[in-house]
């Protein structure tokens, strides 16, 4: 694997991480104990954006190029705005850690796509054929490590924020009998 292939894989990995966090934030906003119509609407939008990010990341990695770059920029902006709006609508049950992690990963995707759009001008498509080159084991380990360090704590913080009680405590969930 060459350096260009390794760099091209980062937007995909970042999109997967952001997609997981956005979907978790959205699910928490939909089913949370104090969710209203506004938070449920934002939650549904975040779930859709999260699933779209997961699909986009897979397509970009499989094709070896950035897919639908201008639509992706719109999706990145929508993800940033919708997750930020959720902080204002449901502040006590939304994790700032998850919002920050999702924003960081979305900015990585947005920056990569913006550079691509800037280089290719008004042409949205990059039809340059590329030979599929699998990621190296080192690349996969590094990507998995980054996701583990950024996404896993954000997902845990999302659950804690949804479950937090009015007194500021988080209930302990046991899995007895499993």
For the chain (178 residues), the mean pLDDT of every run of 10, in chain order, is 57 92 94 87 97 94 87 96 94 90 95 88 54 60 82 87 75 71
Task: With respect to residue 178, please indicate whether it lies within any of the assigned structural domains.
Answer: no
pTM passes above 0.85: no
Task: With respect to residue 111, please indicate whether it lies within any of the assigned structural domains.
Answer: yes
Q: Are 60 and 101 in contact (CB under 8 A)?
A: no
Q: What span, in angstroms and rounded, lies between the C-alpha atoms of 73 and 95?
A: 24
Q: Where are the alpha helices (DSSP H) in 64-136?
A: 69-89, 96-120
Which domain range does residue 94 map to?
A: 3-163
Task: With respect to residue 173, please indicate whether it lies within any of the assigned structural domains.
Answer: no
Q: What span, in angstroms and rounded, lies between the C-alpha atoms of 14 and 85?
A: 21
For 165, list phi and psi in degrees, rounded to 5: -90, 170
Task: With respect to residue 38, please indicate whether it lies within any of the assigned structural domains.
Answer: yes
pLDDT, residue 137, reads 66
Task: With respect to residue 170, please indicate whether it lies within any of the assigned structural domains.
Answer: no
pLDDT, residue 91, reads 87
pLDDT, residue 17, reads 94
Q: Tell how far CA 27 is from the center of its chain.
A: 14
Q: Are 29 and 52 in contact (CB under 8 A)?
A: no
Tokens linked to 40: 């449920």
* Number of structural domains in the chain: 1
Task: With respect to residue 56, please indicate whether it lies within any of the assigned structural domains.
Answer: yes
pLDDT, residue 92, reads 83
Cβ of 17: how many Cβ atoms within 10 Å? Answer: 29
pLDDT, residue 129, reads 46
Going by C-alpha positions, the residue among 7, 82, 84, 12 that lies closest to residue 54 is 12
pLDDT, residue 107, reads 96
What is the total residue count of the chain? 178
For Cα atoms 90, 22, 121, give the angle at the middle one, nearest 5 degrees: 120
Task: With respect to residue 154, please indicate whether it lies within any of the assigned structural domains.
Answer: yes
């Amino acid at each position: 694997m060459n350096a260009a292939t390794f760099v091209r894989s980062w937007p995909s990995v970042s999109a997967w991480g952001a997609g997981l966090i956005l979907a978790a934030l959205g699910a928490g906003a939909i089913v949370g104990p104090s969710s209203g119509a506004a938070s449920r609407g934002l939650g549904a939008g975040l779930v859709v954006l999260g699933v779209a990010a997961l699909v986009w990341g897979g397509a970009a990695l499989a094709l070896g190029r950035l897919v639908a770059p201008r639509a992706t920029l719109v999706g990145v902006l929508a993800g940033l705005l919708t997750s930020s709006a959720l902080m204002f609508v449901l502040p006590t049950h939304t994790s700032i850690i998850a919002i920050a992690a999702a924003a960081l990963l979305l900015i990585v995707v947005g920056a990569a796509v913006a550079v691509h759009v800037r280089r290719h001008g008004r042409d949205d498509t990059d039809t340059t054929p590329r030979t599929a080159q699998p990621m190296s084991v080192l690349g996969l380990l590094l990507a998995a490590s980054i996701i583990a360090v950024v996404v896993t704590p954000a997902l845990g913080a999302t659950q804690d924020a949804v479950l937090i009680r009015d007194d500021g405590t988080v209930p302990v969930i046991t899995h007895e009998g499993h």
